[in-house]
């Protein structure tokens, strides 16, 4: 029976042995692998990351931007046990002298001769460390790192051998002394079983993430300045680890996604860099002062000197004001269209999200409250927030939000059902427990979930994400 295609993925290599390795690793998952040569495209990306994962993300972003399809980025570094730290290859296996990239032959000879000069017995244990990333529409769906099994690097080159999968296979041996260039394809795949398992697990996790992403289409994320996005992901996103779990990076990335959805739905034609920045900064400082976090976040953005590399003074002012104006409880209307957008994007659009986030917040603010009492409080609070008479601020009310509002109002009119659903969604075991005694949905807190959704590819033959698999 022909395997059902769940997702087409661009693999950034034309090396058939590597392609076959990935195909075998993901067999049975419904993933179809394509190469740049197959698509008739060329991809060049400056790999200037400081980790293998960062380089994998850089490469995957470049591939996704050109191909308009999910792209798998893969970068590797190496550690040679007997070499001193200043001579370690790390991420510079092919560029030991800086920017100049060595050919396969020159690269192999450089490390062979270094081992010969440095290692007394002419060989050393070594291992690869890998970074992998799956990117679609400019954003990270998933990323991971892992170490591979050890092998032996030797100064004695196997002249008769042919390097197929790896350029080093003529100076790389298994732990039992067999050169990799002497291994059959089947033996190579067997030796790389651990690596294959890591790759397979990575794609299984990626498919699970995609399955739980919202169905709305969001375009424009791939137009965001790459350096701005990279800075925010490295320096700003980690700061959300300090917030409660209801306002962590999962929420931030959902707000980013919704900003781009609404910008597209209502044809606002706003600056993509400004949208991304204001959404990325909007809840900073929540852990410092809940009531004034919008002001703290606005100041943190405005005081970030790196933002002046991307925005002029007027843009900085607009973004700061938009961040300050994003709260739904704010009495006055936001001062700009950007403020209206971030305020609207910050509104929940799923009952499940409301329940999960609110229980995380309860852990921070009401840990000693009895669950039954807390549920009564929550019904009262949400009935006011989503009332027909005085609803929360929503300046761009799309069909997704309208549907959510109808469902939430209906549920709030049935307190018993509301409580049952709340406990079911949050896996609450007993209403007699205190809030702190129930952990909530920690299983859903994945910091690598990105604001990506299913999008039709401009490349008609490829780039699909199967609709059935995308359903949550």
pLDDT at 369: 95
Q: Alpha-carbon distance 226 to 68, whole Å?
A: 16
Residue 212 confidence class, pLDDT cut points 50, 70, 90:
low
Q: Alpha-carbon distance 419 to 422, whole Å?
A: 5
Q: Alpha-carbon distance 171 to 159, whole Å?
A: 9
Residue 216 confidence class, pLDDT cut points 50, 70, 90:
low
pLDDT in tens, 136-177: 877 788 899 999 999 999 999 988 766 667 889 999 999 999
pLDDT in tens, 54-101: 999 999 988 988 888 889 999 999 999 999 999 999 999 998 988 788
Taking each helix axis as running N to C, give the angle between helix 293-303 and helix 272-281, from 0 to 180 degrees, rounded to the nearest 10. Answer: 130
Place of tokens 């197929």: 164
Beta-bridged to residue 129, according to DSSP, are 77, 147
Domains, the chain: 7-210 (3.90.950.10), 218-451 (1.10.3210.10)
On whether the CB atoms of residues 68 and 463 are closer than 8 A, the answer is yes
218: helix, coil or strand?
A: coil
pLDDT at 396: 93
31 membership: H or E segment, kind and range: strand 31-34
Place of tokens 């609404």: 262
Beta strands in 52-147 (DSSP E): 71-80, 123-136, 139-147
Nearest to 398 by CA among 234, 267, 208: 267
Rounded to a whole number of angstroms, the CA Rg of the chain reads: 26
% of the chain exceeding 70 in pLDDT: 89
Of the listed ranges 48-52, 325-329, 341-345, 410-414, the one predicted with least confidence: 325-329
Place of tokens 């050109």: 66
154 membership: H or E segment, kind and range: strand 151-154
Q: Alpha-carbon distance 234 to 298, whole Å?
A: 19
For the chain, the first-to-last Cα distance in angstroms comes to: 26
Nearest to 278 by CA among 333, 232, 309, 217: 232
**Cβ neighbourhood burial of 370 (10 Å; 0-12, 13-18, 19+):** middle
pLDDT in tens, 279-330: 999 999 888 887 889 999 999 999 999 999 999 999 999 999 999 998 766 5
On whether the CB atoms of residues 132 and 74 are closer than 8 A, the answer is yes
Whether 217 has a pLDDT exceeding 80, the answer reads: no
Q: Bigger pLDDT: 129 or 221?
A: 129
7 membership: H or E segment, kind and range: strand 7-11
Of the listed ranges 58-72, 206-220, 337-351, the one predicted with least confidence: 206-220
């Amino acid at each position: 029976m022909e395997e059902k295609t769940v997702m087409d993925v661009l693999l950034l290599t034309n090396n058939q042995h590597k392609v076959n390795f990935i195909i075998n690793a993901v067999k049975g998952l419904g993933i179809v692998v394509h190469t740049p040569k197959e698509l008739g495209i060329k991809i060049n990306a400056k790999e200037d990351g400081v980790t293998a994962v960062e380089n994998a993300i850089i490469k995957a972003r470049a591939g996704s931007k050109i191909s308009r399809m999910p792209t798998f980025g893969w970068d590797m570094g190496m550690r040679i046990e007997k070499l001193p730290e200043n001579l370690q290859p790390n991420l510079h296996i092919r560029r030991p002298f800086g920017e100049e990239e060595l050919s396969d032959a020159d690269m192999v000879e450089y490390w062979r001769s270094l081992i010969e000069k440095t290692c007394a017995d002419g060989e050393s244990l070594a291992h690869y460390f890998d970074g992998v990333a799956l990117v679609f529409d400019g954003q990270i769906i998933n990323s991971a790192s892992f170490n591979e099994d050890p092998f032996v690097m030797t100064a004695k080159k196997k002249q008769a051998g042919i390097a197929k999968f790896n350029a080093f296979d003529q100076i790389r041996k298994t732990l039992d002394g067999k050169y990799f260039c002497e291994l059959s394809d089947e033996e190579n795949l067997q030796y790389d079983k651990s690596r294959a398992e890591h790759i397979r697990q990575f794609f299984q996790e990626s498919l699970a993430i995609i399955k739980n992403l919202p169905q709305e289409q969001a375009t424009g994320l791939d137009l965001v300045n790459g350096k701005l996005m990279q800075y925010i992901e490295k320096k700003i996103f980690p700061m959300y680890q300090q917030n409660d779990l209801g306002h962590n990076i999962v929420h931030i990335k959902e707000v980013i996604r919704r900003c781009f959805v609404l910008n597209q739905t209502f044809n606002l034609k706003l600056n993509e860099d400004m949208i991304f920045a204001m959404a990325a900064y909007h809840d900073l400082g929540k852990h410092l002062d809940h009531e004034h976090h919008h002001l703290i976040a606005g100041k943190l953005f405005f005081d970030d000197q790196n933002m002046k590399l991307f925005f002029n003074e007027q843009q900085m002012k607009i973004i700061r004001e938009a961040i300050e104006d994003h709260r739904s409880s704010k009495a006055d209307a936001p001062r700009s269209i950007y403020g209206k957008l971030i305020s609207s994007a910050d509104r929940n659009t799923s009952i499940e999200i409301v329940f999960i986030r609110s229980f995380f917040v309860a852990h921070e603010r009401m840990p000693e409250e009895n669950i039954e009492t807390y549920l009564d409080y929550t019904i009262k609070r949400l009935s006011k927030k989503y009332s027909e008479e005085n609803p929360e601020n929503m300046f761009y009310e799309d069909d997704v939000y309208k549907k959510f509002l109808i469902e939430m109002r209906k549920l709030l009119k049935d307190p018993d059902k509301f409580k049952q659903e709340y406990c079911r969604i949050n896996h609450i075991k007993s209403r007699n427990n205190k809030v702190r005694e129930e952990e909530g949905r920690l299983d859903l807190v994945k910091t690598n979930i990105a604001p990506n959704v299913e999008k039709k590819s401009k490349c008609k033959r490829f780039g699909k994400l199967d609709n059935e698999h995308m359903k949550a």
